[in-house]
Structure 1
Amino acid sequence: MTLTPIPSNRPLYWPELIHELQAHLPNREIYIVGGTVRDVYLRRPVHDLDFVTPEDGRPIARLIANTFDGAYYPLDDERRVGRALIQYQEQAWVIDVAQLRGPTLEQDLRDRDFSINAIAVSLHDLDHLLDPTDGVGAMESKQVVICAEDAISRDPVRALRAIRMSLTLKYRLSPETKTAIRQDGPQVSHVSPERVRDEVFKLLGTTKPSSALALLDGLDLLPLLFPEARMMQGVTQSPPHTLDVWRHTLHVMDNLEGLLTAFSPRRTDETAANFGLGMVVFSLAHLRSEIVAHVQHWWPAERSHIALLMLAALAHDIAKPMTRTVDPDGNTHFFGHPERGAEIVAQWGTAMRLSNDEIERLHRVVYHHMRPLMLYNSGELTRRAIYRFWRDLGEAGVDVCLLSCADYLATYGTTLNQGEWLRFVQIIKTLLEGYYRQREALVSFPMLLDGWMIMNRFNLKPGPIIGEILDGLREAQAVQEVQTQDEALRWVENWLADHKN
């Protein structure tokens, strides 16, 4: 069966680079496909170009790279896919050229995941669409529709991708897509952890990660990804909490996303008008560039720090169901839930094949997520408390401060006391100023003595005792109990006298 080109029902505004490629690839049978066509049709920004051709795609990708003085990589030798990385008009472009995955273009398109990704346009006929699965109809009706009944069973990761596309484009999942996800989505447990991890991180990096979790739950995929998550549903909490643990967790994620948006160029009038979020952003305005730089960090394989932080938010109360107790007065308690939750999130990280640094960050954030609240409840934030906070958490302390704000707002909800909230925000401000503005005085100052000086002066041998002395001396310096080398030597002398045994 031959595909019939149909005129687009709306003007297609192609990037200037496409017209440039027309001139450099004359007489080639080559088609623009996938997300490129979809985004041009929807008038969304385009930064990547995807092409298919009946030929081996690698020589064409190499030709493009050479033409524009870019770099070439053989992306997939088995499938004959090449990638060109070029700069054009001061913009970086990623251009993939693949050989058709079937005997014909139509078969290639029908074998794709969703109809909105299964439209092709000939490079030399930019006004006509090749659309065998009615991707245009899906876009007009704002639906994510599978290309075929077995689309999910052939690649179960597509179940997660469908949810992400639904959220990103604000489309509904079509009935047949939902049916296929429920039927074949559970096979995702047999897919390589790395592929699942990458799609989960993309989901958590969307603008509404709580909606992603709600969809995963509704489509019965949540237990496959995060086995303990559903246990939070229906677990009640005492005041000031107003929600069960699950709904509280989703609200924490919403607040965290709103807070990060309010700090970013994506902030809107709605986020600016939110009192709770607005007071954080106002109070931390002088630290905004540092906070934005922190959350825009990327982990290995382009995993976003924001997604990692959302994973920590999901896990911060994950152990409450298994640590819940009720005292004689009917009050609920969750003793030890941060420690147990840290163990669980580390297990998730290991299962997803995250790097050791990512796992350590998750563990530390969940383990210490209540530290700011404990400092707030103590009534006074001393130099010693600030020092110990950053000593124990390091850079993860920034994540804990952000998560703690989102947690506090979700705890109180509509019962938020503005005065108490401002006092809590002041605690966060003081902590972050200690890290970003007074680090040399409070966190990362030069030591007055080192281990060799202590051993030589007091005739000590190397061992754990030297580390204990240095830890204590560092804290004494931080709180200004010791400010000169002579005072440091006297401090060590007193320490040794107190620890004769």
Structure 2
Amino acid sequence: MNLERSIIKSLKLESTSQELKKLDKDKDLEKIIPKINEMKEVGECKYHVVNCFDHSINALKEFEDTINDENFFPAHLKDLIWDYLNTELEESISRLEILKLGIFIHDIGKPDAKTVDESGRVHFKGHEKIGGDIAIKLGNKLKLSEKSIDTLFNYVRYHMYLLIFYKDNNLTQEKLFDMFNKIGDDTIGIILLGYADIVATRKLLNPDEQVGTIKTYMEFILTNYEYRYKRLK
């Protein structure tokens, strides 16, 4: 089995995060995604206590724990989310598998985006834009379809949406509909990614912190997408 296929195969496993750690230990992962070596060198800042690679593995594990919890999603969203995740983007590759890849590489643009200000504080402004371009190149390297690559790009490029809503505390219909108009059904995957990203970060900063508020934001956005936006459209 070639290395590209081993990556795709890992996305189909229940514990993709563990398989990617194994591929990394065997030095196979870096042959397909060389950028992960740089990801291990950056990422620690005011908001992150681990490097980008470890954070990405943690976020993927958080996502896998979430979808494996039968009681996590409320009844009015469960079918919506699973219908979305189970949709095939190309033969034998579903949105779920591309989303797992998107979660793993969502911060892949940080090494190239890193700057340090006069006070010594590290910033990664624009890393999602850089990461989106890298996602396209990786998708082509993995010989994914155009639809899969477009979806992967959306996940990486727009993974900050939930965090922005959470920080700004601005969930007006205008703001939400602007996002829905831009990314359509990928809203679901992007908001799920955002949840895993934020929670994986917060758990290390404060293990005792309750993340129910973040879950409420996620559910509110997805409920508005399905029951307001789509019905109006």
- Normalising by the smaller structure, the TM-score range is over 0.9
Q: What's the counterpart of residue 14 of structure 2? A: 207
Name the CA distance, whole Å, in 1 between partners of 2:91 and 2:216.
Answer: 36
Does the residue aligned with 1:299 lie in a helix, a strand or coil? strand
The structure-2 alpha-carbon separation of the partners of 1:351 and 1:236, relative to structure 1 and needing over 3 Å to count, comes to closer
State the Cα distance separating 1:394 from its structure 2 match: 0.7
SS at match of 2:50: coil
User: What does 1:449-468 correspond to in 2, within 5 Å?
Assistant: none
Give the equivalent residue in structure 1 for 2:52. 245
> Which residue pairs with 2:191 in the alignment?
401
1:417, distance to aligned residue in structure 2 (A): 6.4
Match of residue 223 from structure 2: 433
**Alignment partner of 1:364 out of 154, 157, 172:** 154
State whether residues 136 and 149 of structure 2, in contact with CA within 8 Å, keep that contact through their aligned partners in structure 1. Answer: yes
Q: In structure 2, what is the Cα distance between the partners aligned to 1:439 and 1:388?
A: 10
Which letter does structure 2 place at the counterpart of 1:231?
Answer: E
Letter in 2 for 1:227: P
Which AA in structure 2 matches 1:334?
A: F
Of the two, which has the highest radius of gyration? 1
Task: Say whether 1:285 aligns with 2:45.
Answer: no
Instruction: Give structure 2 stretches of 5+ with no counterpart.
Output: none
Structure 1 segment 475-494 matched on structure 2, within 5 A = none
CA distance in 2, matches of 1:321, 1:260: 29
Q: Is the 8 A contact 1:372 1:401 kept in 2?
A: yes
Aligned to 1:424: 214
1:392 and 1:231 mapped to 2: Cα distance?
A: 31
Name the SS for the 1:335 alignment partner: coil
1:349 and 2:156 are equivalent in the alignment: no
CA distance in 1, matches of 2:170, 2:135: 31
Matched, 1:223 2:13: no
Indicate conservation of the 8 Å contact 1:312/1:362, yes or no. Answer: yes
Does the aligned pair in 2 maintain the 1:317–1:338 contact within 8 Å?
A: yes
Please tell me whether the aligned partners of residues 342 and 364 of structure 1 are also in contact (alpha carbons under 8 angstroms).
Answer: yes
The residue aligned with 1:255 is 62
After superposition, the CA RMSD in angstroms is 1.8
Deviations 1:53-102 (A, max 9, x none): xxxxxxxxxxxxxxxxxxxxxxxxxxxxxxxxxxxxxxxxxxxxxxxxxx
Q: Where does structure 1 differ by over 3 angstroms across 4 or more consecutive aligned residues?
A: 196-199, 416-419
Unaligned runs of 5+ in 1: 1-156, 158-187, 189-195, 264-271, 273-280, 445-501
Cα deviations across residues 239-295 of structure 1 (Å, max 9, x unaligned)? 3322111110100110111111114xxxxxxxx6xxxxxxxx25x332111111111
State the secondary structure of the residue aligned to 1:235. Answer: coil
Counterparts of residues 187-198 of structure 1 (less than 5 Å)? 188=2, 196-198=3-5
1:230 shift after superposition:
1.8
Alpha-carbon contact 2:43-2:110 (below 8 Å) kept: no
Question: Does the CA-based 8 Å contact 2:113-2:124 persist in structure 1?
Answer: yes
Q: How many residues align?
A: 232
Deviations 1:365-420 (A, max 9, x none): 1100001111111122100011011111111110011101100111112415645x
Higher relative contact order, chain-length normalized (CA < 8 Å, sep 6+): 2
1:387 matched residue in structure 2: 177
- Residue 486 (structure 1) aligns with: none
Pair 1:430–1:256, CA change in 2 (3 A): same
Specify the alignment match of 1:312 in structure 2: 102
With 197-206 and 218-227 compared, the bigger mean Cα shift is at 197-206
Aligned to 1:321: 111
1:413 aligns with 2:220: no
Q: Is the 8 A contact 1:315 1:366 kept in 2?
A: yes
- Pairing 1:234–2:24 present: no
- Do structure 1's residue 375 and structure 2's residue 182 form an aligned pair? no
| Aligned AA (1:345) | A
Q: Distance in 2 between matches of 1:345 and 1:240?
A: 23
For residues 153-176 of structure 1, give each alpha carbon's deviation from its aligned partner in whole angstroms, at most 9, with x where no partner exists: xxxx1xxxxxxxxxxxxxxxxxxx
Counterpart amino acid of residue 328 in structure 1: E
Instruction: Say which is worse superposed, 388-397 or 197-206, in terms of deviation.
Output: 197-206
* Structure (1 or 2) with the greater strand fraction: 1
Tell me by how many angstroms 1:430 deviates: 1.6
Aligned-pair distance for 1:197?
A: 4.1
State whether residues 401 and 428 of structure 1, in contact with CA within 8 Å, keep that contact through their aligned partners in structure 2. Answer: yes
Alignment check: 8 A CA contact 1:231 1:321 kept: yes
Aligned amino acid, residue 257 of structure 1:
E
